Amino acid sequence: MRYARIAVERGVDLPDGLTYAVPDSMADLRIGERVEAPLGRGDAASPGFVIDVNVQPDLDPARIKPLSRRTGMSLPPTMIDLARWIARYYCAPLGMTLAAMAPAAVRRGVGGVVRTEVEPTGAEPIGKLPPATKAAWEALQSFDLGRFPLPPRELADHLELRTIGPINRLIEIGALRSLKVRRVRAAWAEHAAEADRGLVLTPDQQRIVDAIVAKIGSFSAHLVRGVTGAGKTEVYLRILERVIERGECAIVLVPEISLTPQTAGRFLGRLAKEGVAVLHSGLTSAQRNAQWSLVSDGRVRVVVGARSAIFAPFARELGRPVGLIIVDEEHDGAYKQDQLPRYNARDVAVKRAQLEGCPVVMGSASPSLESWRNAKEGRYTLHELTERAGGAFMPRVEVIDFAEERRARPWRENRVSLIGPRMEKAIGRALDADGQVILLLNRRGYANYICCPDHRCGWVMTCDDCDAATVYHRDKRLPAGGYVRCHHCLAQQRLPAVCPRCGKTVNTFGMGSQRVEEELAMRFPQLVPDETMLRLDSDNVTSGRLWSELLQRFGSGEVKLLVGTQMIAKGLDFPNVRLVGVVNADTAINLPDFRSAERTFQLISQVAGRAGRCAERRGYVIVQTFSPEAPPIRYAANHDYVGFADEELALRERAGLPPATRMARIVVRHKDLVKATGMARAVADALRRGAGSEVHIRGPMPCPISRISGQHRIAVELIARSAAPIQSAIARARSEGALRSDAHTAVDVDPIALL
């Protein structure tokens, strides 16, 4: 009897898995296959992945249960090694980590059908063939064998046959054979392919391409810091073409669905013949399964997608080695998974490249300080593009003191304006010149402060289940004209007409993208919402297809102005954008998070880069702020990433914060505050027992947002100069059973947000 170890898809924290007997019907079982195994006293059928075969039993063989069945899907062996690293580093059960690697639609087989396909047998036809059959056979001699098996109708179309009769005749005489193949049927997830522009590389671009191409075939890590509009995507494409020429595959990561359609279009346009699959959360379940199947069946060579695309099932063992991994906008927080396992796809990409033995290329105009420090210390190779491609210039940025702007606005308007006088004039000039405008306010809704007008009453509307203010959203379709939403637990209710304490009519203050849209429509009659002006935020852009359609309307010139949140700050390349405005640059700068300055710099730099992507005229950017002298705003206005990074890194070093140190954060959640505090104290005590003097443990302490969805939140933080002592302390607490990732405890290694 053979035995195998299985990592079941449960919250069972067993790095070595459970031992099962392999029945004779599964004699050829391999590492990476997904199976069902009986679990517990009731022998409940539990899915899991094979992580080892031919193992020695670790208990009485008579007590070892046999595996139940195969499920029909598998992961490449390299992915099992990657899962082990993720589970160990991010403190997650191995089975849950493996389950996260394979989309739920793939595990459930959504859209799967069995159909008849044909492939050559290798035998030559004997005797005289009818003319049509002979023509089909001759055409088959030059047909790419790698495209088989194919449905008879599809093969007939490729061979330019009017019917499938000649195909059937070749099957009858043994030149082709018919077989049943399981495929996934789904409507194609449409992405507009962008035609090759025929661009000529600049000397700096060519230098970077040559340097990275020289490293193909072995692991190396590269950071490409290029100013916005410098042509990083073209660099990626040229390296990709060389990798594909070698017969290898590639993974291209983009941070979120908002960037995927436009980015995917560029890769589809250039690499369509080699095959491009697109993986992101905007696909239907059947589409996601279909795209995954294209990769696992070897029918595509390139995958473009968001965070989870790093788990694309290319397999060296099946002749589909990964030759390159690209992480575009590597600084973006969307690469961090906010649920178990809490991995960062950028760092997982580096680890997968190590396992695959290939280069990983990370690109950004404003790299994360972690990557910048790795480059400066020689762990990554740094490549820089300091000028825009095509002769375009970086935009001129003007920082405006919003307090002075408000004083300059006449009070007879009887309202607080979000668009200052200078920004209003600049918008008017851009529209009069038939230009286009992008305005950023990284805050959804209409107003973020709902209160009683009587300061003696002091009532402020907060969420019943969260320690956070609610946000008013306008919706004219509703009787009350809108609703109030909590952006943390997503609870909604009507806007109260009067204060529940004193009965006075409530006031709504603050700013949001809806209010900016309303103000623009009042000041500029030519801007009609949903016609010549679009608001783009997660409230009204609900799918990748809709996002793509809206961008096409802007690209055609039909829409003159975009107003929205951070989803419009990156990835957009439209040459007629003459003005970019940041309505309020302070939305994140004062948050109780040590990365707030870094995020503010990145957001301003990225959105400013949307302006002036045309060599004929220089773009113009206006940044409204109450903190005009704040370093991230001042450096962003001067396009000085290096100056900002050096100053911020020095501050982090003095404060003992990442990336000068490493951090892990454990958040304990419970509806009972006393229980949450007690559980967090027990976790902190266990960590202190297992930690050496080089690990500083802070807490337990309430999180900045101390309650979400009715759950009180207590944090414990571990900080050390390197990751090893933190990992050791966490591993010891896990082995004692004092720390586990479950419904009450979240373990976040290398956290990117501390709220």
315: left (phi over 0), alpha (psi -120 to 50) or beta: beta
Which domains can be identified in the chain, with CATH numbers?
A: 2-102 (3.40.1440.60), 112-184 (1.10.10), 203-390 (3.40.50.300), 392-443+513-654 (3.40.50.300), 445-510 (no CATH), 662-749 (3.30.70.600)
Q: How far is CA 743 from CA 186, 620, 711, 731, 740, in A?
A: 35, 49, 11, 19, 9
Alpha carbons 176 and 188: distance in angstroms, whole number: 29
Residue 138 — pLDDT band, cuts 50, 70, 90? Answer: confident
**pLDDT tens, 664-689?**
999 999 999 999 999 999 999 999 98
Q: Which residue has the higher pLDDT, 555 or 598?
A: 598
Q: pTM of the prediction?
A: 0.87
**pLDDT tens, 57-94?**
878 888 899 999 998 889 999 999 999 999 999 988 99
Residue 312 — pLDDT band, cuts 50, 70, 90? Answer: very high
Whether the CB-CB separation of 612 and 393 falls below 8 Å is answered with: yes
Residue 613 — pLDDT band, cuts 50, 70, 90? Answer: confident
Q: What is the pLDDT of residue 747?
A: 92
Residue 479 — pLDDT band, cuts 50, 70, 90? Answer: confident
Q: What is the pLDDT of residue 414?
A: 47
**pLDDT tens, 404-452?**
877 766 544 445 688 888 999 999 999 999 999 999 999 999 988 888 8
Whether the CB-CB separation of 265 and 192 falls below 8 Å is answered with: yes
Nearest to 237 by CA among 201, 191, 185: 201
Task: Provide CB contacts within 8 A for 716, sequence distance 6+.
Answer: 665, 666, 668, 680, 683, 684, 687, 697, 698, 699, 700, 701
- Supply 32's token pair: 């990476």
Helices assigned H by DSSP within 409-512: 421-432
Q: Helix, strand or coil for residue 742? A: coil
- Supply 333's token pair: 């927080």
